[in-house]
Amino acid sequence: MSFKIIKFGGSSIEDAEKIQRVAGIIEDTIKNSELAIVVSAFSGVTDTIKTLAEYAAAGKNIDVAFDSLVAKHTECAEKLSIKNEINIRRILDEYFTQLKSDLLFVAKESHLSSQSLDKVLSYGELLSTKILAEYLCQIGIPAEQLDARKVILTDNYFGHAFVHYQQSYSRIRSYFKDRSYMQVITGFLGSTKTGATTTLGRSGSDYTAAIFGAALNAKIIEIWTDVSGILSADPKIINEAEVIPSLTYEEAMELAHAGAKVIFPPTMIPALYKNIPIVIKNTFEPDHPGTTIAKDRTKTDKNVAGISSLSHVALVRLQGAGMVGMKGLIGRTFSSLANENINIILVSQAFSEHSICFGIKPEWITKAVKTLETEFSFELKNHYIDEITVEKNLSMVAVVGEEMRHTSGVSGRVFSTLGNNNINVIAIAQGSSERNISFIVDDEDVDQTLKSLHTEFFTIKDEWIEIFLVGVGTIGGELLNIINQESPPGISIRAVCSSRKMLIGSDALNPATAKDKLKKSNMSFGLNDFLSLGNKKNSKQKILVDCTASETIAKEYVNIINRGFSVVTANKIANTLDQNYYHSIRHTAKKNNVKFRYETNVGAGLPIINTLRGLITTGDKILSIEGVLSGTLSYLFSAFDGQNPFSFILNEARTKGFTEPDPREDLSGMDVARKMLILARETGAKLELDDISVESLIPTELDPTLSVDRFLDRMVDFDQFFIEKLENANAKQKVLRYIGKWDGQKVKVCLEAVSNDNPFYNQNGRENFIVFRSKRYNDVPLIIKGHGAGAAVTAAGVLRDIQLCLEDR
Which stretches of the chain bind Mg ion, using CB under 5 A? 9, 203
One character per residue 2-21, x = contact with ligand ASP (rule: CB under 6 A): -------xx-----------
For ligand ADP, the closer of residues 12 and 601 by Cβ is 12
Helix (H, G, I), strand (E, B) or coil at 13: coil
Query: Near ligand ASP by CB under 6 A, which window of 200-208, 383-391, 555-563, 575-583?
Result: 200-208
Q: How far apart are CA 133 and CA 673, in angstroms?
A: 74
Query: Residue 205 CB, nearest distance to ligand ADP (Å)?
Result: 7
Which region among 39-47, 62-70, 357-365, 631-639 touches ligand ASP (by CB under 6 A)? 39-47
User: Is 675 a known active-site residue?
Assistant: yes
- Residue 563 CA, chain-centre distance (Å), reads 35
**Do residues 205 and 38 lie in contact, with contact meaning Cβ atoms separated by under 8 Å?**
yes
Using CB under 6 A, which residues numbered 303 to 362 contact ligand ADP? Answer: 306, 308
Which residues inside 19-58 make contact with ligand ADP, applying CB under 6 A?
40
Q: Which is nearer to ligand ADP, 284 or 525 (CB)?
A: 284
The DSSP annotation for 684-746 comes to T----GGGSEE---S-TTS-TTS-HHHHHHHGGGGHHHHHHHHHHHHHTT-EEEEEEEE-SS-
- The size of the chain, in residues, is 809
Q: How far is the CB of 291 from ligand ADP (least distance, A)?
A: 8
Distances from the Cα of 368 to the Cαs of 316, 335, 342, 361, 443, in angstroms? 8, 12, 7, 10, 21
Strands 596-597 and 693-694: unpaired
Quick one: which of 4, 5, 6, 10 contacts ligand ADP (CB under 6 A)? 10
Single out the residue of 790, 783, 792, 725 nearest to residue 759, CA to CA.
783
Residue sitting closest to Mg ion (CB): 203
Our finding on whether 205 is near ligand ASP (CB under 6 A) is yes
Nearer to ligand ADP (CB atom), residue 24 or residue 526: 24
The reply to whether 293 sits near ligand ADP by the rule CB under 6 A is no
Q: How many residues bind ligand ASP (CB under 6 A)?
A: 12
Residue nearest to ligand ADP (CB): 9
Q: Which stretch binds ligand ASP (CB under 6 A): 170-178, 197-205, 389-397, 708-716?
A: 197-205
Establish if 12 lies at the interface with ligand ADP (CB under 6 A): yes
Compute the distance between CA of residue 769 and CA of residue 786 in angstroms, rounded to an integer. 7
Contact residue for ligand ASP among 12, 46, 225, 455 (CB under 6 A): 46
Shortest Å distance, C-beta 61 to ligand ASP: 24
Stretch that binds ligand ADP, among 89-97, 223-231, 609-617, 746-754 (CB under 6 A): 223-231
Nearer Cβ to ligand ADP (200/356) = 200
Q: What is the 3-state secondary structure (H, E, C) of 759-770?
A: HHHHCCCCEEEE
Could you tell me which stretch among 7-15, 129-137, 411-419, 657-665 binds ligand ADP (CB under 6 A)? 7-15
Name which position in 154, 225, 492, 638 contacts ligand ADP (CB under 6 A): 225
Window 75-104: contact mask with ligand ASP (x via CB under 6 A): ------------------------------
In the complex with ligand ASP, which residue's Cβ is closer, 11 or 548?
11
Please say whether the beta carbons of 529 and 557 come within 8 A: no
Residue 231 DSSP label = B
From the list Mg ion, ligand ADP, ligand ASP, none, which binds 188 (C-beta under 5 to 8 Å, kind-based)?
ligand ASP
Does the protein bind ligand ADP through residue 203 (CB under 6 A)? yes
Residue 763 touches which member of ligand ADP, ligand ASP, Mg ion, none, C-beta under 5-8 Å by kind? none
Q: Rounded to an integer, what distance in angstroms lies between the CA atom of residue 102 and that of residue 94?
A: 12
Question: Looking at beta carbons only, is 9 or 190 nearer to ligand ASP?
Answer: 9
Should residue 417 be labelled a site residue for ligand ASP when binding is judged by CB under 6 A? no
Residue among 154, 203, 282, 683 that touches ligand ASP (CB under 6 A): 203
Counting Cβ atoms within 10 Å, is residue 197 exposed (0-12), middle (13-18) or buried (19+)? buried
Q: Which of 187, 320, 511, 631 binds ligand ASP (CB under 6 A)?
A: 187
DSSP output for 362-428: GGGHHHHHHHHHHHTHHHHHTTSS-EEEEEEEEEEEEEE-GGGGG-TTHHHHHHHHHHHTTPPP-EE
Contact 372, 324 (CB under 8 A): no
Residue 204 binding target from ligand ASP, Mg ion, ligand ADP, none, CB below 5 to 8 Å by type: ligand ASP
Q: Write a three-state SS string for 629-685.
A: CCHHHHHHHHHCCCCCCHHHHHHHHHHCCCCCCCCHHHHCCHHHHHHHHHHHHHCCC
Query: For the window 233-272, what string marks contact with ligand ADP as x by the rule CB under 6 A?
Result: xxxx-----------------------xxx----------
The count of other CB atoms within 10 Å of the CB of residue 784 is 18
Would you say 547 and 532 are in contact if contact means Cβ atoms under 8 Å apart?
A: no
Question: Contact between 126 and ligand ASP (CB under 6 A)?
Answer: no
Residue closer to ligand ADP (CB basis): 414 or 604: 414
User: How far from chain centre, in Å, is Cα 341?
Assistant: 36
- Other beta carbons within 10 Å of 439: 23
Give the Å distances, CA to CA, from 222 to 26, 46, 201, 670: 12, 22, 19, 67
Q: Judged by CB under 6 A, does residue 259 bind ligand ASP?
A: no
Q: Where are the beta strands (DSSP E) in 402-546?
A: 427-430, 436-442, 465-470, 491-497, 501-509, 523-524, 541-546
CA atoms within 13 A on the CB side of 803: 12
607 neighbors 787 (Cβ within 8 angstroms): no
Q: For residue 197, state whether it binds ligand ASP (rule: CB under 6 A).
A: no
**Annotated active-site residue in 675, 686, 725, 748:** 675
- When the beta carbons of 9 and 511 are compared against Mg ion, the nearer one is 9
Q: Which is nearer to ligand ADP, 270 or 740 (CB)?
A: 270
For the bound state, the minimum distance from the C-beta of residue 212 to ligand ASP, rounded and expressed in Å, comes to: 14
d(CA 771, CA 430): 63
| Cα angle, residue 100 at apex, residues 97 and 102 outer, rounded to 5° | 110
- Residue 201 near residue 266, CB atoms below 8 Å: yes
Contact 165, 211 (CB under 8 A): yes
CB of 265 to ligand ASP, least distance (A): 12
How many of the other CB atoms lie within 10 Å of CB of 7? 29
The answer to the question of residue 266 lying near ligand ASP (CB under 6 A) is no
Q: What is the CA radius of gyration of the chain?
A: 35
Its sign, for the CA torsion 236, 240, 241, 246, is: positive
Separation between Cα atoms, residue 210 and residue 575, nearest integer Å? 66
265 binds ligand ASP (CB under 6 A): no
Residue 12 vs 436, nearer CB to ligand ADP: 12
Q: Is 41 in the site for ligand ASP (CB under 6 A)?
A: yes
Which region among 68-76, 224-232, 429-437, 797-805 touches ligand ADP (by CB under 6 A)?
A: 224-232
Contact call for residue 567 and ligand ADP (CB under 6 A): no
When CB distances are held under 5 to 8 angstroms depending on the partner's kind, the choice from ligand ADP, ligand ASP, Mg ion, none that residue 234 binds is ligand ADP
563 makes contact with ligand ADP (CB under 6 A):
no
| Of the candidate residues 49, 53, 230, 396, the single one contacting ligand ADP (CB under 6 A) | 230
Which residue number, 244 or 545, has a Cβ lying nearer to ligand ADP?
244
Q: Closer to ligand ASP at the Cβ: 9 or 359?
A: 9
Residues with a catalytic annotation lie at 675
Contact footprint for ligand ASP (CB under 6 A): 9-10, 40-41, 46, 124, 187-188, 202-205
Contact footprint for ligand ADP (CB under 6 A): 9-12, 40, 203, 225-227, 230-231, 233-236, 260-262, 306, 308
